[in-house]
Structure 1
Amino acid sequence: MQLLGLLALLITSASVTEAQITIPIQRKGENLTALDYLKIANTRHKLGIKGLKDHRSTSLVNWQNALYTAQVTIGNNQVFNVDLDTGSSDIWLRGPACNGPSVNIADSTLSNTGKTFSDAYGDGSKISGIIYHGPVTLGGVTATLDFGVTTSESGMTGPFDGLWGLGFSLLNSIDFNTAKGNFIGAAGIGGFAFYFSNYADKDTGELTINGVDTTKYVGAVQWVPLTTLAYWQFSVVGGSFVINGVSIPMTGSSAIADTGTTLMIVPTAVAAKLNAAIGASAANSQGFSPISCSLTGPSITVNIGNSTIVVTPKQYVFQNGGSCVSGIVGGGANPDYIFGDVFLRAAYTVFDVTNKRVGFAQAIHPGSAVPVPSVPAPTKTSSAIVNKSTSVPPSPTTKATTVPKTTSVPPSTSPVTTKVTCAHDKCVIGPYLKAACDPCVALIVAKDAYCGVVTWDSTCVKEVKAICGIKC
C-alpha cells in the first residue's frame, strides 16, 4: 500500500478526518518568572533517549506562566485547559486530591481501570495517579481511551489543568488501551498544524487538525522526513543559522519540534555564537543571556533542508519583569536541538502523521512585515535557502471546512525511497538504528507501520532484515 492509499484509509475509517477543525489556543501568563536552569539542563533527556518503550521520564520544558493551552473535554462535558505537547504522548488531568480544577471521577462515562501511572519531568517535578478509561475530546475530535488522573503532584505548577500529548506511541508512559495506540491513532488524525502569535504581540494561536490554514503563512510548506517515530525528530545535517550575513553551522545531527518547550535549545557552543551575534550578553549562572528589550536586534535565518525560516526579535526576546533575556539557550554538551516556541512562533509548523514528516513555512503575523532571509556572504547563495520544492495542491475532493481558506495536509506524491546503506557497525543499538542512518531508523522504529507502505532501498532492507529480523 502506498502512502496515498494509507491516507485514504484513514479518511474512510474515522469520521473525524472528513473535516478540518481549528482550535484556538491561549498563552497563559504575562511575564516569565522563576528562571529555572534545571528546566534547561534536564531537557537533554529528550534528545538523549531515542524513544525506547521502557523510558518513563520526559521533559516538560516551559517557563512558569508562559505556555499555550487549549480547551479539551473529558467524560461528560468536563472542560479543562491543557498544555499541548508534541514532545509527549500521554494524556493526564489533575485529580480531586490536587490543586486546581480537577476531574470528576464520579462521572458515569469514566471507569477506573485499577492501574496506576507515574511520570518524572525534566524540571524535577513528578506526578502519579490512577488510570481511567473514557471519552476524551479535542476540538470536536473524540476518542475513547485510557488517561491519567493525578493523585499526587510534586513541583507541578502553572496555569494548566493537565497535559495532552501529540507525540507518537513510543513515548507513552500510559498505555492508551486502544487498537490504534495513542490519541492521534485512536482518533484517526492524519495531521495537524500549529500557529503561534509573536511573544511581544498577542497571547493567542491556533491548532488546526487534518488541514492547514493558508492565511497564516506565506510560500510553500517545505517538508523534512522524520528520523524516528517517537518525538517529532528530524535531521539538521547541513543546516545553518545566518545572522547579518554570517553563517553559523548547525553542529550535531538531530532536532525535535516541540510545542511543550518554550525556548530554542541548542548546543552550548552554538548558543554562545548565536547570542553574541544578536547582541545578547554571555549566559548568566542560570544559563540565560540578558538582552536589550528594544526588539531592534537582527533577525536569525534558520535553514533546515529546503526550509528557510526567519526568527525576529519579537520571537526570541523574552521579558522577565523589567529586564529581558534571549530565548536561545545552551543544552550542555548534547549536540542536538529542541525547536520550541521561539522557533515555532516564526514557523507555521505542520505535523504530518500519515506521511511521517514535519513541514515548515514562514508564519504571517498581523502588523509585522514578512521578514527577509539573511544570505551568508560571499554572494553565493546557500542551497538550503533556494526553494527547490513546490507545494502540493489539496485534493479536489476535500470537503468544506469550518475554517476559511484552509487546505488538507498535502500528501506525498510518490513512495518514499532511500539510498542509504545501513552498516552494521555504526547503526545498531539494540533493536534500533542510530539517527545517523536516516531514514533507515524510521523504518526500524515503526517497522509494523512501514512494512508494505514505503519503498525500501534494496541494500538497506537487506541489512535491516538481517540485523533485526524484520519480516514484511
Structure 2
Amino acid sequence: MHLLPYSLAVSCFLSIANDYALAAPSPSSSPLPRSIPLMRRSRPRRNSTELSGWLKSQKEILEAKYSNNPQRKRASGLNLLTNQNADSSFYGSIAVGTPAVSYNVILDTGSSDLWLAASDGVSTDSDGIPTFDSSSSSTFTDLNTTFSISYGSGAARGTLGQDTVQFAGFEVDSQVFGVVTQVSSGLLNSPVSGLMGLGFQTIAASGATPFWQALVENGNTLDSPLMAFQLTRFNDVNNAQSLEPGGTFNLGAVNSSLFTGDIDYQDIPDGQEGYWIQQLAGLTVNGNSVDVGSGSAAYAAIDTGTTLVGGPEDVISALYDAIPGSEALTGQNSGYWTYPCSTNVNVTLRFGSSSIAWPVSNEDFLLEQASQDTCVGAFFALNTSGTSAPAWIVGDTFLKNVYTVFRASPASVGFAQLSDTALSMNGALGSAPSPTVGSVAATISGSSTGTGTDRSSSANGAARATLNTLGMWAVALTSGLVGGAMILL
C-alpha cells in the first residue's frame, strides 16, 4: 500500500476521479465468436492534495452523471480489456469510419451515448489523446445537431454525426455518435478518446439507439441478447504498470471458462429499463446485517463505468458503524469514511429475490491507505435526492468480484462466481492488448438517430485484439478471437 501523511492522503484521493471517471441484419460471414481484450493502468503516486481532490470529484462525477440522465443471427464477440490506473477504469476499443480507425473508449453500462474527441477542437487541450477526424472518413455524415454531456468534473460538447462503427466483431453502418469539440480539462486521459454507453436508449442524450441495443433489436445478429464482463484486480499490486490486462468483455455470449456454476439472473424492476437496475435486498459487513430499505430506496445501477460504490448516507453510515474505529470525513471529503487498516472488511451484497450474497473482498473495499494506520473505504455516501437517479451506484469495487452479465431479454442482470482461470488473472502483470482492424461477423444498417435534442448526460472490419501471450489468457479465450475486436475497458 502507498502510505501518505493522513492530512494529505485524504485530499489526494479525490483527484483521481478524472482518471476513472440499426436495423436489418446482413451477415457478411458465418457466425464466429469475437473478442476484445481489457487492460489496466497502474495507480499513480498521489500527494495529499491530489487524494482529497480525487475523492471529491469521484463523488461529484457520479451525482452529476445520474442526476442529468432522463429515463426514456448470429454471432458473438469476445474482447480483452485494459485495466487503467490500478482499477481506476477499464476501457475498450472500437473502430470508426472508412477506412476504419481504432479508438479506445470507456465501456460504461451507466450511460447510453457514444462520443469521441474530434480533431478540430480537442487536440490542443488533450495531449496524447487520439482524436476523430470526420473529413478522413468517406462514410461520415454530419447531422448538424448539437450534443452535450455533463459530468461533475466537467463537460464535453460538440455535434452529432453518423458513421460506420465496429465493435467486438460487429458493425453498425450508420451509428449516431457525438463528435466532441469541447472537453473540460482532465475529462479525458490518454490513451482514451471517448466513451461508449452500454445502457438503454431511454437515457441517451442523443436519442440514438446504442450500438449494443441496435444489434439486439435486429433480432438475427447476436447468439444471445447479452453482454458480459470479467474485470481484473491490480489495486493491491505495488509494481503494477499504468496499463495492465483488464479482463474480458463478451457480446452475444458468455465465456464459460471465466465462471463456475450458474449465472444468477435477477430481472430489472418493471418500468426501470434505462440503467441496468437491480434492487439491493441485503447488505452485510463482517457478518453483520445492515438495513438497506426497500422499493426504489434500494434500487442500484450496475455500472462498469464507475470505480466505487455509492449509496444513501444513512445506510453507508450504518455500514461503517459496523467497523470499529471508523470515522466520517468532513469538508470536501464529506461522504467518505476512514477505518483502521488492520481491520479486514468483508462486505456482501444480495439482489432481488436471490438468496446468494455476493462478496466484496477486503482488497477492493480498501480504496486507499491514508496514513500508517488509517485507510479510506470504497463505499461512500451518494446524494441523489431531487433526481431520477437510483439510490445506489454499484461500480467496479463490486464487479471485480463477480462475473457480470447484462441481458436485454428478459431485461435482467446476472452474476456468477469467478473461475480459477479468471481469478488467476488478478495481479498477473502483462502487456496491454493492441487494437488493430480485422474482419466482422455481422453488419446491420439504419441506426436510429432519435430526437437529437441537446441535453446533458453522461471501413470494413472491427477493432481487433492482439492477445497477451500469458498462458492464462490463452485458456480464457479459447472460444475464439478470430477477427474479433479488442475491448480495452
Given the two structures, how large is their TM-score scaled by the length of structure 2? 0.64
SS in structure 2 opposite 1:88? coil
Aligned runs of 1:257-336 on 2, under 5 Å? Answer: 257-278=302-323, 280-285=326-331, 286=333, 287-291=335-339, 297-304=344-351, 305-306=353-354, 307-319=356-368, 324-332=375-383, 334=385, 336=391
- For the residue of structure 1 that corresponds to 2:318, the secondary structure is helix
Residue equivalent to 2:275: 231
**Which whole-Å deviations, capped at 9, do the CAs of 1:172-191 have from their partners, x for residues lacking one?**
12243xxxx32113234511
CA distance in 1, matches of 2:27, 2:253: 15
Indicate the residue corresponding to 1:447 in structure 2. none
Question: Is 1:366 paired with 2:398?
Answer: no
Return the offset for 1:108. Answer: 3.1
Distance 1:278 1:47 in 2: 29
Aligned residue in 1 for 2:19: none
Following superposition, the deviation at residue 224 of structure 1 comes to 0.9
After superposition, the C-alpha distances for 1:376-421 in whole angstroms (9 at most, x for unaligned) are xxxxxxxxxxxxxxxxxxxxxxxxx993369xxxxxxxxxxxxxxx
1:138, distance to aligned residue in structure 2 (A): 1.4
- SS of residue in 1 equivalent to 2:277: strand
Q: List aligned pairs for 1:19-418, cutoff 5 A.
A: 19-31=32-44, 33=51, 34-41=53-60, 43-44=62-63, 51-53=70-72, 66-75=88-97, 76-96=99-119, 97-98=121-122, 99=126, 100-144=129-173, 145-155=175-185, 156-159=187-190, 160-176=192-208, 181-188=209-216, 189=222, 190-198=225-233, 199-201=235-237, 203=244, 204-227=246-269, 228-236=272-280, 239-251=281-293, 252-278=297-323, 280-285=326-331, 286=333, 287-291=335-339, 297-304=344-351, 305-306=353-354, 307-319=356-368, 324-332=375-383, 334=385, 336-364=391-419, 366=423, 403-404=477-478
User: In structure 1, what is the equivalent of residue 454 of structure 2?
Assistant: none
Distance 2:320 2:303 in 1: 21
Instruction: Describe the shift of the 1:249–1:77 C-alpha distance in structure 2 as closer, same or farther (beyond 3 A).
Output: same
1:229-287 CA distances to partner (integer Å, 9 max, x unpaired)?
11111222xx1112232111222231110011111001112112223434543234313
SS of structure 1 residue aligned to 2:317? helix
More off after superposition, 29-38 vs 326-335: 29-38
* Equivalent residue, structure 2, for 1:442: none
Contact 1:126–1:153 (8 Å) recurs in 2: yes
CA distance in 2, matches of 1:288, 1:366: 29
Secondary structure, counterpart of 1:170 in structure 2? helix
**Equivalences for residues 438-449 of structure 1 within 5 A:** none
Q: Which secondary structure state, in structure 2, belongs to the residue aligned with residue 109 of structure 1?
A: coil
CA gap 1:254/1:128 in 2 versus in 1, 3 angstroms: same
Contact 1:87–1:165 at 8 Å: present in 2 too?
A: yes
The one-letter code of the counterpart of 1:350 is V
Q: Distance in 2 between matches of 1:84 and 1:50?
A: 17
1:264/1:339 contact within 8 Å kept: yes
Task: Please give the alpha-carbon distance, in whole angstroms, between the structure 1 residues aligned to 2:138 and 2:102.
Answer: 14
Structure 1 pair 270–14 and aligned structure 2 pair: CA distance change class (3 A): farther
Task: Answer yes or no: is the 8 Å Cα contact 1:88–1:171 preserved in 2.
Answer: yes
Distance 1:300 1:16, change over 3 A: farther
* 8 Å Cα contact 2:143/2:162 also seen in 1: no
Amino acid of the residue matched to residue 242 of structure 1? T
Structure 1: runs of 5+ lacking an equivalent: 1-9, 54-61, 370-400, 407-472
Partner SS, residue 337 of structure 2: coil
1:76-130, CA deviations, whole angstroms, 9 ceiling, x for partnerless residues? 2311111000011111111112122101222233423242333243314111112
Inter-CA distance 368–171: structure 2 relative to 1 (3 Å threshold): closer
Q: Indicate how the Cα distance of structure 1 residues 103 and 256 shifts in structure 2: closer, same or farther if over 3 A, else same.
A: same
Structure 2 residue runs of 5 or longer lacking an equivalent are: 1-22, 73-83, 217-221, 427-474, 481-489
Question: In percent, how many aligned pairs have the same letter?
Answer: 24
Shift of 1:11: 12
Determine the C-alpha separation between the residues in 1 that align with 2:205 and 2:176.
11
Call closer, same or farther: CA 1:169–1:200 in 2, change over 3 Å.
same
After superposing the two structures, state which structure 1 stretch, 191-200 or 23-32, moved more.
23-32
8 Å contact 1:89–1:171 — kept in the other structure? Answer: yes
Q: 1:42 to 1:69 in 2, by over 3 A?
A: closer
What letter corresponds to residue 111 of structure 2 in structure 1? Answer: S
The CA RMSD over aligned residues, in Å, is 3.3
Instruction: Indicate how the Cα distance of structure 1 residues 366 and 271 shifts in structure 2: closer, same or farther if over 3 A, else same.
Output: same
